[in-house]
Amino acid sequence: MTTLSIDHVSRWFGNVVAVNDITMTIGPGVTGLLGPNGAGKSTLINMMGGFLAPSTGTVTLDGQPVWRNEKIYQHIGIVPEREAMYDFLTGREFVVANAELHGLGDKAAQRALATVEMEYAQDRKIATYSKGMRQRVKMASALVHDPSLLLLDEPFNGMDPRQRMQLMDLLRKMGDEGRTVLFSSHILEEVEQLARHIEVVVAGRHAASGDFRKIRRLMTDRPHRYLVRSSDDRALAAALIADPSTAGIEVDTAEGALRIQAVDFGRFTALLPKVARDHGIRLLTVSPSDESLESVFSYLVAA
Amino acid sequence: MYDPTVARLTYRALLGRRRALILGALPLLLIVIAVAVRALTGADDQTASDVLGGFALATMVPIIGVIAGTGAIGPEIDDGSVVYLLSKPLKRPTIIFTKLIVAIAVTMVFSAVPTLIAGLILNGNGQQIAVAYTVAALVSSIAYSALFLLLGTVSRHAVVFGLVYALVWEALFGSLVPGARTLSVQQWSLAVAHKVSGGDLVTSDVGLTTATVLLVAVTVLATWYAGQKLRALKLAGEE
């Protein structure tokens, strides 16, 4: 059982506060660290991985400090966000080197390569790898020493759906085996698919913590605003307002569009096309007007 | 203190195709110059000393030191791949020490060996000139490697600063301003070379004792400090 404890951690760079008094405990299983870009996720992960000293507060792994403690890496595997990884080596050479740096040999490297299913390309230079292959070799390098804590910074960035699914399966397996797995992401759906437990960071602050379903509900039950253009706006408005998923509709004559406020996101998105079809109305534009992640998060923070 | 895996990664990064070409260009130039000078002027001790002192020791060795010293760690810190070394149960000073050994070895091979060959071509080691300058190149390889490895650890512009130091301080001030010579790796190594040659063709502004103390002090302090800097190295995030 490995527990990572972040205790009243702040980190500032000059006058900028990147992480503001965050306290959280990450236990076994998969935890998602969710937040918009620039929220302080990478800063937090860097402090968790011992690559950055907290300005105040402490980060400990089972009671051991993480900062300036090289021995702690016997228990931590890290998958950094950055791409660079000794491109002049082959995948196998890279993972073997990582194993050796842990005092292990070829066997551990080969096992890790098998875990991420990269044996087929292990003798190719890393420079020739796709983004997904790089990510898997990075994973292998983080797994060679069988760590009890795995930290991944934006692991799904730039991966195609199939690669994403493979990596998700792998992380899920790691979590089920009792490892403590923490990954960061700015994409809600990604986190939802993988993590039971999520930690939300917004603007350097710890905004929410707990079961994803509850937090997801908080996020989705807020009023969603849509801008809709159709072949008959008024008829569509009349049909939609009859359903409880819609809280209000404004006919914006200047824009020639409807501004719809929906309260039940899931139901509304199913309702809209159905209503349009039933009434023979053509939908020309359907665009969420406040769907930026920032607005989702700021709603969450306000809640 | 020495980790063979770190060494292997560093060698392969340093001797990658492009950098190896740059590392090989100057020694090649030195040997071409030596052959040309020998063909044009015949064997002459003074000329041999001028070429080895003026080009090999004052220009080639520091530049190779910059490339090998900063190149042993700078690019890894810049692109973030050093994280794969730092996230291991490996003492940070071990990483620095290993990289220092590699930088020294590479600098020695690419500077001292061609210096010896050029010296032999120029005057067949008459008055021990070839050996004296080779010893100077070996000695300065150590100090330059340590200095530039530190520079590569603390600065993102290590190559620029290193070249400014090598070319402006060592080559220009070192030859023109008397005070600057006392604080010049080149002069320290010349003091050692002077002792080896025994003659007056190889001279230094610095006494052997001072030179030795300063060489050792600079190497040890730079290496120690680089280890400390690496311990506190912050890997900048993407944010």
Nearest Cβ partner for A85 among B4, B16, B81: B81
Residues A9 and A147 reside in one and the same domain: yes
Residues A136 and A260 reside in one and the same domain: no
Q: Residue A148: inside a domain, yes or no?
A: yes
Instruction: Please give the sequence-ordered ranges of beta strands (E in DSSP) within chain A, or none if there are none.
Output: 4-13, 16-26, 29-34, 56-61, 64-65, 76-79, 149-152, 180-185, 197-202, 205-211, 224-230, 246-252, 257-262, 283-288
Residues A187 and A249 reside in one and the same domain: no
Q: Residue A171: inside a domain, yes or no?
A: yes
Look at residue B170 and tell me whether its pLDDT is greater than 80. no
Least Cα separation, residue A283 to chain B (angstroms): 39
User: Which residues of chain B make contact with A37, given a CB cutoff of 8 A?
Assistant: 239
B83 Cβ under 8 Å from any chain A Cβ: yes
Look at residue A293 and tell me whether its pLDDT is greater than 60. no
Report the distance separating Cα B148 and Cα B150, nearest Å: 5
User: Which residues of chain A make contact with B233, given a CB cutoff of 8 A?
Assistant: 51
pLDDT of B237 = 45
Least Cα separation, residue B82 to chain A (angstroms): 8
Tell me whether residues B84 and A51 touch, CB distance under 8 A.
no
Nearest Cβ partner for A49 among B6, B87, B89: B87
- A217, A233, A253 - which closes a domain: A217
Q: Residue A302: inside a domain, yes or no?
A: no
Query: Domain range for residue A266?
Result: 218-290
Tell me whether residues A71 and B238 touch, CB distance under 8 A.
no
Looking at per-residue pLDDT, the higher value among B187 and A160 belongs to B187
Least Cα separation, residue A172 to chain B (angstroms): 23
The per-residue pLDDT for range A172-187, each reduced to its tens digit, is 999 999 999 999 988 7
User: How much of chain B, in percent, has pLDDT values that exceed 90?
Assistant: 60
Which amino acid belongs to residue B119? G
Please, what is the average pLDDT of chain B? 89
Cβ partners under 8 Å of residue B134, min gap 6: B112, B115, B116, B119
Least Cα separation, residue A1 to chain B (angstroms): 20
Helix %, strand %, coil % for chain A, to 5? Answer: 40, 30, 30
Q: Residue A247: inside a domain, yes or no?
A: yes
Tell me whether residues A82 and B80 touch, CB distance under 8 A.
yes
Q: Residue A299: inside a domain, yes or no?
A: no
Tell me whether residues B5 and A43 touch, CB distance under 8 A.
no
pLDDT of A1 = 72
Residues A178 and A222 reside in one and the same domain: no
Least Cα separation, residue A212 to chain B (angstroms): 25
Residues A69 and A126 reside in one and the same domain: yes
Report CA dihedral (B41, B46, B47, B51) to the nearest 10 degrees. Answer: 170
What the block records as the tokens of B37 is 């000078």
The per-residue pLDDT for range B13-64, each reduced to its tens digit, is 999 878 888 899 999 999 999 999 999 988 888 999 999 998 999 899 999 9
**Are A271 and A243 in contact, with CB atoms under 8 Å apart?**
yes
Tell me whether residues A51 and B83 touch, CB distance under 8 A.
yes
Residues A210 and A192 reside in one and the same domain: yes
Question: Which range scores top for mean pLDDT: A66-70, B110-114, B154-158?
Answer: B110-114
Report the distance separating Cα A79 and Cα A87, nearest Å: 16
Nearest Cβ partner for A80 among B83, B88, B90: B83
The enclosing domain of A194 has a CATH number of 3.40.50.300
Q: Residue A298: inside a domain, yes or no?
A: no
Q: Residue A296: inside a domain, yes or no?
A: no
Average pLDDT over residues B98-119: 96
Residues A184 and A259 reside in one and the same domain: no
- A174, A192, A217 - which closes a domain: A217
pTM of the model: 0.82
What the block records as the tokens of B32 is 């071409």
Q: Where are the domains of chain B?
A: 4-231
Please, what is the average pLDDT of chain A? 88
Q: How many domains does chain A have?
A: 2
User: Which residues of chain A make contact with B239, given a CB cutoff of 8 A?
Assistant: 18, 37-38, 40-43
User: Which residues of chain B make contact with A46, given a CB cutoff of 8 A?
Assistant: 234-235, 237
Look at residue B226 and tell me whether its pLDDT is greater than 90. yes
pLDDT of B179 = 76
**Are B23 and B61 in contact, with CB atoms under 8 Å apart?**
no
Average pLDDT over residues A273-302: 76
Confidence category of residue B239, pLDDT binned at 50, 70, 90: very low
Looking at per-residue pLDDT, the higher value among B196 and A58 belongs to A58
The per-residue pLDDT for range A137-149, each reduced to its tens digit, is 999 999 999 999 9
Look at residue A64 and tell me whether its pLDDT is greater than 90. yes
Least Cα separation, residue B85 to chain A (angstroms): 8
Tell me whether residues B239 and A37 touch, CB distance under 8 A.
yes
Residues A76 and A188 reside in one and the same domain: yes
Tell me whether residues B79 and A88 touch, CB distance under 8 A.
no
Place of tokens 């965050």: A22
Residues A100 and A126 reside in one and the same domain: yes
Work out whether strand A180-185 and strand A197-202 pair parallel, antiparallel, or are unpaired. Answer: unpaired
Nearest Cβ partner for B89 among A68, A71, A78: A71
Residues A212 and A226 reside in one and the same domain: no
> Residue B72 gets which letter from DSSP?
T
Work out whether strand A283-288 and strand A16-26 pair parallel, antiparallel, or are unpaired. Answer: unpaired
Residues A284 and A143 reside in one and the same domain: no
The per-residue pLDDT for range A66-104, each reduced to its tens digit, is 998 999 999 999 999 888 889 999 999 999 999 999 999
Q: Based on the number of CB atoms within 10 Å of its own CB, is B67 exposed (0-12), middle (13-18) or buried (19 or more)?
A: buried
Q: Residue A300: inside a domain, yes or no?
A: no
Tell me whether residues A46 and B235 touch, CB distance under 8 A.
yes
Residues A250 and A269 reside in one and the same domain: yes
User: How much of chain A, in percent, has pLDDT values that exceed 90?
Assistant: 54
Tell me whether residues A70 and B92 touch, CB distance under 8 A.
yes
The enclosing domain of A248 has a CATH number of 3.30.70.100
Report the distance separating Cα B137 and Cα B131, nearest Å: 10
- Could you tell me which residues of chain A have a Cβ less than 8 Å from any Cβ in chain B? 18, 37-38, 40-43, 45-46, 49-53, 68, 70-74, 76-78, 80-82, 84-86, 88-89, 97-98, 100-103, 141, 153
**Contacts A–B by Cβ distance under 8 A:** 90
The per-residue pLDDT for range A225-283, each reduced to its tens digit, is 888 999 999 999 999 999 888 889 999 888 889 999 888 777 888 899 999 999 999 99
Report the distance separating Cα A181 and Cα A81, nearest Å: 15
